[in-house]
């Protein structure tokens, strides 16, 4: 079978995470937003979870939300950056998000905040997570997707093409809601749900946006990236184009972040299942109070 294309340079991502672990707190607003969103979605679930994993924990904000929910007894944090992991309390496991080390059917809940968008084989990671869940175990995740950083992506492409005659990718592609739902089904999750929330952040200068991305450790790590540093004239032109397309009347620029939330359950016989075709006890026409007609038959005006 063909191996999935490796979109990201995972070693480069780890090195950048390591360099920015002390600066992460200066730009953790997206992580906090994702943790709050996961906490909100967990609050609607009327059950408890003895053992949960904060998968790709960063600084532990999702784990804090799980504990604060009152629905989780024990939280295990996982991180590929060991020094960052060691700053967190409780149980900890050092691992790569592409290779979860948990035994089949061993977890009640897996929650992940803004980590899974950087794996090269997302369908494979979802399958491994589903297998690690006990029957009727819950998966909750938040990922950047949709139109995240669309203005920055376009400005960089246009500026480089204008000045050099070509352009290399500098902003990662983002997953769409419909694709997330399909991936959950493909991975074998029951009752899959995907939705999104948009967060608009305003900056006094586009450079401040680039600084935040650097502090997050989320600068360009695409395998297809150019190995040459971005030229200063290209950057200056990109910032000019960005300011022109995403500025408000007060001169501040907007940055769009779409957070795609995903949830699904490990299959269990107690879960609701769709009815078999033809098993309905009432005709749709009767329920709607209309006359039933054969398919293709037109009614008068």
Q: Is residue 222 part of a domain?
A: yes
Q: Is residue 219 part of a domain?
A: yes
Q: Is residue 23 part of a domain?
A: yes
pLDDT > 50? residue 285: yes
* Total domain count, the chain: 1
Full domain range(s) for residue 201: 10-268
- Tens of pLDDT, residues 5-37: 799 999 999 999 888 888 988 899 999 999 999
Q: Which of 48, 53, 52, 37 is closest to 145 using CA atoms?
A: 37
User: Sign of the CA dihedral 65, 68, 69, 75?
Assistant: positive
Q: Is residue 174 part of a domain?
A: yes
pLDDT for res 277: 56
Q: Which of 196, 208, 198 is closest to 152 using CA atoms?
A: 208
Q: Is residue 19 part of a domain?
A: yes
Q: Residue written as tokens 């995403």?
A: 246
pLDDT for res 271: 78
- Tens of pLDDT, residues 235-257: 999 999 999 999 999 999 999 99
Q: Is residue 256 part of a domain?
A: yes
pLDDT for res 49: 98
Q: Residue written as tokens 């950087």?
A: 118
pLDDT for res 1: 41
pLDDT for res 290: 64
pLDDT for res 301: 43
% residues pLDDT > 70 (the chain): 89
DSSP 174: -
For the chain, what is the mean pLDDT? Answer: 91
> What is this structure's pTM?
0.87
Can you name the residues that pair with 222 across neighbouring β-strands? Answer: 8
pLDDT for res 71: 97
Q: How far apart are CA 64 and CA 51, in angstroms?
A: 14
Which two tokens mark 152? 């920055």
State the pLDDT confidence band at 178, using cuts at 50, 70 and 90. very high
Q: Is 133 helix (H, G, I), strand (E, B) or coil?
A: strand
pLDDT > 70? residue 288: no
Q: Is residue 59 part of a domain?
A: yes
Q: Is residue 1 part of a domain?
A: no
Can you name the residues that pair with 257 across neighbouring β-strands? Answer: 199
Tell me, what CATH number does 20's domain have? 3.40.50.150
Contact 48/71 with Cβ under 8 angstroms? yes
């Amino acid at each position: 079978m063909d191996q999935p294309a490796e979109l990201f340079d995972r070693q480069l991502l780890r090195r950048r995470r390591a360099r920015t672990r002390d600066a992460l707190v200066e730009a953790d607003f997206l992580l906090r937003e994702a943790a709050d969103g996961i906490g909100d979605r967990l609050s609607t679930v009327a059950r408890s979870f003895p053992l949960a994993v904060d998968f790709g924990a960063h600084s532990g904000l999702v784990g804090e939300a799980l504990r604060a929910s009152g629905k989780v007894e024990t939280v295990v944090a996982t991180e590929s950056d060991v020094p960052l992991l060691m700053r967190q309390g409780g149980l900890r496991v050092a691992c790569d998000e592409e290779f979860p080390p948990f035994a089949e059917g061993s977890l009640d809940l897996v929650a992940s905040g803004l980590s899974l968008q950087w794996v090269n084989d997302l369908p494979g990671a979802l399958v491994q997570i589903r297998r690690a869940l006990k029957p009727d175990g819950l998966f909750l995740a938040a990922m950047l997707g949709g139109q995240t950083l669309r203005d920055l992506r376009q400005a960089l492409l246009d500026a480089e093409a204008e000045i050099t005659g070509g352009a290399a990718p500098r902003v990662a592609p983002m997953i769409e809601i419909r694709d997330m739902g399909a991936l959950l089904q493909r991975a074998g999750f029951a009752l899959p749900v995907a939705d999104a929330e948009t967060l608009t952040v305003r900056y006094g200068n586009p450079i401040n946006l680039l600084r935040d991305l650097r502090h997050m450790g989320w600068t360009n790590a695409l395998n297809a990236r150019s190995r040459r540093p971005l030229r200063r004239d290209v950057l200056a032109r990109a910032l000019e184009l960005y300011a022109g397309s995403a500025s408000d009347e007060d001169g501040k620029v907007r940055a769009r972040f779409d957070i795609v939330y995903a949830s699904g359950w490990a299959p269990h016989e107690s879960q609701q299942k769709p009815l078999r075709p033809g098993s309905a006890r009432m005709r749709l026409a009767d329920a709607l109070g209309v006359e039933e007609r054969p398919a293709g038959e037109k009614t008068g005006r």
